[in-house]
């Protein structure tokens, strides 16, 4: 029988939950993340995955669910688009 002193656990803020293994607060939802699915013109009830890099959407009919999930994960994994910063200078 254990008779030690109980340890304090982290108090998590709204939108976070305590990880049962590490006792660290982690978000249970990705903040500010847009949905990878959209509707297609002509049938708003049929979900579609936006093509990575833009250019349209691929409808998810149920026959290609694996492809839709893979494309949604690939688009989310890319993260925000990088904005290059460059300066050009010259000295005489």
pTM of this prediction exceeds 0.75: no
Q: Quick one: what percent of the chain has pLDDT higher than 70?
A: 45
Contact 11/23 with Cβ under 8 angstroms? no
Provide the pLDDT for residue 57.
72
SS3 state at 62: coil
Q: What are the residue ranges spanned by the domains of the chain?
A: 32-77
């Amino acid at each position: 029988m254990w008779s030690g002193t109980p340890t304090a656990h982290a108090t998590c803020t709204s939108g976070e939950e305590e990880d049962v293994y590490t006792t660290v607060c982690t978000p249970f939802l990705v903040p500010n993340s847009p949905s990878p699915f959209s509707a297609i013109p002509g049938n708003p009830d049929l979900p579609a995955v936006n093509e990575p890099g833009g250019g349209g959407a691929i409808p998810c009919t149920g026959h290609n669910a694996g492809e839709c999930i893979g494309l949604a994960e690939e688009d989310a994994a890319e993260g925000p688009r990088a904005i290059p910063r460059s300066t050009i200078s010259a000295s005489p």
